[in-house]
A and B are shown apart, each in its own frame.
Chain A
């Protein structure tokens, strides 16, 4: 069974600090997605990474896919209160079902 382990599960920081969220697995994924979710709403896609070693930037967010395509990280520079939310990583499993395997999520709180 393919699993994605996200860490940390909870993170509370002050505005302006940097942070990194990790998404790790012992399995290879064809692609990994990062989503951000606000309470009571559906997850919103931030980025998809598909190539080992790939780095993508979205303003203050930097996403990296591991060389072996088994792990990914999300780094936020100078966090803002608007970054508060639940961050989810998800990867497509080895079966041909299109099934997305989700990590447990990281709840981020950025205090002003």
Chain B
């Protein structure tokens, strides 16, 4: 069966520091991968998605970037964090575009 991992689970970073969040998927190949951000108790906003290695599409302009160095690895990064980058970050995968998406456990990021 497929599993999706995210780390770290929680992170507290100062403003202006760099960021690297990692997501990996097991049990499937060539997944579509997604990064979402969620405000407290609310719906999710899609940040990036990837259909293959090195292929990244950005949904909203922001202080963040994404990379996919391996088939089942998706990384969310920032060179300098802003207070507004605080939130709950979720990674998801699907078999094909338009298929059901399955979510990881999430990373709680607090920027102070």
Seen from chain A, the residues whose Cβ lies within 8 Å of a Cβ on chain B are 6, 30-31, 33, 35, 40-45, 48, 86, 88, 90, 92, 96-100, 102-105, 107
The answer to whether B100 has its CB under 8 Å from any CB of chain A is: yes
Q: With the chains together, A104 CA to B43 CA distance in Å? A: 4
Seen from chain B, the residues whose Cβ lies within 8 Å of a Cβ on chain A are 6, 32, 34, 41-46, 49, 57, 59, 88, 90, 92, 94, 96-106, 108
The answer to whether residues A41 and B43 also contact, given A97-B49, A97-B97, A100-B101 and a CB cut-off of 8 A, is: no
State which of A35, A41, A105, A107 has its C-beta within 8 Å of the C-beta of B106. Answer: A41
Q: List 5 A-B contacts (CB under 8 A).
A: A31-B100, A97-B59, A98-B32, A104-B42, A107-B41
CB-based contact A100/B41 at 8 Å: no
